[in-house]
Structure formats: C-alpha cells, structure tokens
Amino acid sequence: MRRLMPDHKTIAEFRKNNDKALRGVCRDFVVLCRGLNLFTESLVAIDGSKFKAVNNRDKNFTRAKMKRRMEQVDQSIERYLGQLDSADREEPEIAEPKTTRLKDKIETLKQEMQRLKAPDQQL
C-alpha cells in the first residue's frame, strides 16, 4: 500500500456506514473471549484527567526561537515608538489616551524582552 493510510474522516465514515457489522463483530469477539475464559472478574477504571504539558510553548526555548521572538518584540517596540511620534503631532486631548496606551504596550514588550533574555543566558 506504499504507506498509504486512511485519515480520520475515512475511518469515521467507515464506522458510520458499517455500524451494524462492527457491532456484530465486537459481539462475536466478546462471546469468543468469554468462551475461552479470557475475561476475569477484574475491575477496570479509566481516569479522564487532563493536564497541561510541562514542555509547553511558553517554556520551550531554542536559540532560533528566542532570536526570532526578540526580533518580533524589537519590531513591535519600533512600531509603537513610531505611533507615539505621530500621536505627539496630534491634538493633546486625542493624543494623551493613545500615548498612555502605547507606553503601556512598550513597557509590556520590554518586560517580555527581559523574560526572553533570562533563558538565553542559561543556554
């Protein structure tokens, strides 16, 4: 089959189109297993807990990722500084809220840059 594999939709459609046959096969399999005494009186429990992975995107660093992210942060800071310059040329009552918001964004990005520099030193 040259490593040809069905995708999830193909499998789902097969199950939907052949549900009676699949139920029959499963029933026959259970009957066969019981006849061969393959089942015991054991209790099986399944836990449905889900946990966030420890190695998530925000904690996984490579030099290339860090360099790329730092460049993005630098570009954002430059863009916000440019917007601050244009806000300075506007009317003071219009520019002040915009200026405050942009300064907050710049400060957040500078904090992000510091956060990115810590793992870089560890690397």
Mean pLDDT score, 18-36: 91
Count CB atoms within 10 A of the CB of residue 1. Answer: 4
Q: How confident is the model at residue 115 (pLDDT cuts 50, 70, 90)?
A: confident
Mean pLDDT score, 51-63: 70
Domain assignments of the chain as residue spans, ordered by start = 7-40, 63-122
Task: Kindly write down the DSSP assignment for every residue of 17-58, as one continuous string.
Answer: HTHHHHHHHHHHHHHHHHHTT---S------------TT-TT
CA torsion 106→110→111→112, rounded to 10°? Answer: 100
Provide the token pair at 8.
């999830």
Provide the token pair at 114.
């510091």
- Model confidence pLDDT, tens digit, residues 65-94: 888 888 888 888 888 888 888 877 776 666
Looking at every residue in the chain, the average pLDDT score rounds to 81
pLDDT at position 59, please? 67
Judged against a pLDDT cut of 90, whether residue 25 lies above it is answered with yes
pLDDT at position 56, please? 65
Judged against a pLDDT cut of 70, whether residue 95 lies above it is answered with no
